[in-house]
Every structure is written in C-alpha cells, then in structure tokens.
C-alpha cells in the first residue's frame, strides 16, 4: 500500500471529566446555579456556626422583639442589627436562624428522597428494560399505577395516621422518594432498551457474559450521565414536595424549622408582616432555581452532541 493513505490518525486524547468541567464553566447559568447550591449546602452544614455568629439560634424566643399584638416591632418585620431577617411573629424566633436551619430540612429531605427514588427507579427501569417480557409488563404497569397515583393526598393521609413515635423526617423522605421513582424508571427503561441493542453489549453477551455482568459493567456506566442529570433536576421537585407537606402542616414536626411551614404561617401575616413570607419564600425559590440551572447546565455539558455542530 502506498504511504499516502497509510495513516489512520488517532484523535486528540482528552479527559472526559475535564471537558465536562470546561463546558460547565462556560455556562453562566450553570455556574450561578452551582454557586448558589454550594452556598446553601455550606449554610446547612455550618448552621450552628453561622447562628452563633448572628447571635440567635432557631429555638431562642426573643419576646422583646414583639409588640403587644404579637407582631414584630420595627421596620420590615423587625429587621435590626440583632435580627438580620427580622423575627417570627408571635414567637419572636430569629427568622435568619429559621431560614438557615430550614435549609438543613429542605436539602436533607430533598437529597435523601431523590436518592430513594433514583435507586428505586434505576433498579426497576433497568430490570424492566433489560429483561423485557413479563418482567417488563409487570414493572411497567406498576410504574404507570404509581405515576398516576395522587401522591400528595396519600402523603397527607399517611402523615395523619402514622404513630407519633415514628421519625417524621424519615417518613417524609420515604414517602416522597417512593412517589418519585416512576419518572426515572421510565427514562432508564427506555435508555436500557436502546443500550442493550448496542454492539458492545451484544458482543459482550456473545462472549459469554452473564446478565449481572451486562447490567452492571456494560449498561449501568453508560446510564450514569442520564442518572446524574435526572437526579439533579428532580431535587427541586422533592424540596418543593417537602415544602408543600410542611405548608399543609403534615411535614416535619414543629418547632423544627422548615421553609414550607414558615411560608404557611406567613400567609396569615402577609398584611402586617410581608417580610415573614419573603425570606423563606426567597430561599425556597433560589434553591429550586439553582438546582434547575445546575441540572440543565450539567445535561448540556454531558451531552456530546451540544458541541461541534456542522460537518
């Protein structure tokens, strides 16, 4: 063979993770999202430290900050040098501490419930997609049923009848997580159906690989990007669900700070003390937006098709 065409050029070596990081850092929305998420996570982790600096813990009742009707004294719901976000009406709790500690509840429930639903969803989706046949029929119908189930009403009902000794946070995590898996199960099932037709999976099967080998060595690593993105994007929904339950009074028990319950209580005070609604509401809004932006950015960064259009 003549040397003119005897070269098969190898492409430039590159690190996948580094490329993702590079694309992510070029996306302003994603950077904003990640920074905000990081700030909230740090606030939740170091909540005791932060409230020690700000001066009031979430369980300290500063009745001096209230007037005779129970409404906070002063401008903007009692915003002052001592109380940065003002105080809670009737109790006089420092609202800053409530918001900071509320991040613990929201993030813990949001992330843990997401882990529960992702584990369930991936397991069910991958089994249904890979094995097909009756396993697929049974699991897919179950997915449809849970998907169509009025989850919020069920959660409220369970919250009302569960014995009081059962840890409420755990219950909320399990319940929200359980109703969250169908969406990811469907996505994972669809991807698995595609992946199991890929030549490398067929080649591995033809080389004598067992089902577990194929599922965990060949298919699951290729689902990783999908799962990460899906998990990130579904966290804000779980945080919202927890807030909704707390808003309705069946969330974590008082006096544990939770944004949802603060918002629920603030509704009654919105005429006299609008800032009581503003701070927990803003926190909820920001963290939800941030997770969504980060998830969107992550999806774009992990999708190789988003770069290099043209032939």
Partner 1 sequence: MSAPAEPTVLQVTDLSISFTTQGGRAAPREVVHHVGFTLERGRVLALVGESGSGKSVTAMATLRLLPNTAQIEGSVRLGSEELLSAPAERLRRVRGGLIGTVFQEPMGALNPVFTIGDQIAESLLAHHRGLDRPAARRRVHELLDLVAVTDPARVARSFPHELSGGQLQRAMIAMAISNNPQALIADEPTTALDVTVQAEILALLRDLKDRLGMAVLLITHDMGVVADIADDVAVMRDGQIVERADVLSVFKAPQHDYTKALLAAVPRLPSLRIAEPAPAHVRHPARQGVAAAVEDATIIYRGRGRHQVRAAESVTLHIAPGEVVGLVGESGSGKSTVGRALAGLVQLASGRAVLAGVDLSEASRRTLREVRAKLGIVFQDPASSLNPRHTIERSIGEPLDLHQQLSAAQRHARVLELLDAVQLDRALAGRLPHELSGGQRQRVAIARAISTNPDLLIADEPTSALDVSVQARILALFGRLQADFGFACLFISHDLAVVGEVTSRVAVMYRGSVVEEGPTDQTLTAPTHPYTRRLLAAAPVPDPVEQRRRREAWLALQQADAAAA
Enumerate binding residues for partner 1 (CB under 8 A).
Answer: 1-2, 4-6, 8-14, 16, 198-210, 213, 218, 221-222, 224, 307-311
CB of 270 to partner 1, least distance (A): 46
CB closer to partner 1 out of 148 and 208: 208
CA–centroid distance for 168 within its chain:
19
CB closer to partner 1 out of 10 and 161: 10
CB closer to partner 1 out of 93 and 189: 189
Cβ contacts of residue 135 below 8 Å, gap of 6+?
A: 127, 128
CB closer to partner 1 out of 53 and 206: 206
Give the C-alpha separation, 75 to 176, whole Å. Answer: 38
The phi-psi region of residue 91 (left if phi > 0; otherwise alpha if psi is between -120 and 50; otherwise beta) is alpha
CB of 33 to partner 1, least distance (A): 20
Cα angle, residue 145 at apex, residues 140 and 151 outer, rounded to 5°? 135
Which residue has tokens 């500690």?
A: 101
- Is the CB of residue 64 less than 8 Å from the CB of residue 42? no
Which residue has tokens 């009707």?
A: 69
Cβ contacts of residue 42 below 8 Å, gap of 6+?
A: none
CB closer to partner 1 out of 6 and 153: 6
User: Two tokens at 261?
Assistant: 């319950």
Cβ contacts of residue 274 below 8 Å, gap of 6+?
A: 77
DSSP 3-state of 84: coil
CB of 307 to partner 1, least distance (A): 8
CB of 1 to partner 1, least distance (A): 7
Give the C-alpha separation, 97 to 87, whole Å. Answer: 9
CB of 209 to partner 1, least distance (A): 6
CB closer to partner 1 out of 261 and 299: 299
CB of 205 to partner 1, least distance (A): 7
């Amino acid at each position: 063979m003549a040397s003119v065409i005897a070269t098969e050029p190898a492409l430039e070596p590159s690190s996948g993770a580094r490329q993702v990081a590079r694309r992510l850092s070029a996306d302003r929305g994603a950077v904003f999202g990640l920074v905000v998420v990081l700030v909230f996570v740090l606030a939740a982790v170091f909540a005791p430290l932060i409230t020690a600096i700000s001066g009031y813990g979430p369980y300290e009742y500063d009745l001096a900050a209230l007037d005779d009707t129970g409404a906070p004294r002063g401008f903007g719901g009692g915003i002052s040098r001592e109380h940065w976000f003002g105080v809670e009406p009737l109790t006089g709790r420092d609202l800053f501490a409530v918001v900071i500690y509320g991040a613990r509840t929201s993030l813990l429930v949001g992330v843990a419930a997401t882990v529960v639903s992702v584990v369930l969803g991936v397991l069910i989706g991958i089994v249904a997609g890979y094995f097909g046949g009756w396993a697929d029929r049974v699991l897919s119908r179950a997915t449809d049923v849970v998907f169509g189930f009025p989850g919020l009403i069920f959660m409220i009902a369970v919250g009302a009848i569960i014995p009081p000794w059962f840890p409420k946070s755990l219950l909320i995590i399990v319940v929200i997580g359980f109703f969250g898996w169908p969406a990811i199960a469907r996505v994972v099932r669809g991807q698995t159906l595609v992946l199991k037709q890929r030549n490398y999976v067929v080649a591995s099967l033809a080389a004598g690989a067992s089902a577990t080998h194929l599922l965990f060595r060949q298919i699951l690593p290729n689902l990783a990007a999908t799962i990460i993105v899906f998990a990130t994007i579904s966290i804000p929904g779980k945080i919202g669900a927890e807030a909704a339950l707390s808003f309705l009074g069946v969330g974590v028990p008082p006096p544990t700070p939770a944004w949802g319950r603060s918002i629920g209580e603030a509704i009654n005070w919105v005429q006299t003390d609008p800032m009581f609604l503003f701070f927990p509401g803003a926190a909820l809004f920001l963290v939800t937006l941030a997770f969504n932006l980060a998830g969107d950015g992550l999806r774009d960064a992990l999708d190789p098709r988003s770069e290099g259009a043209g032939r």
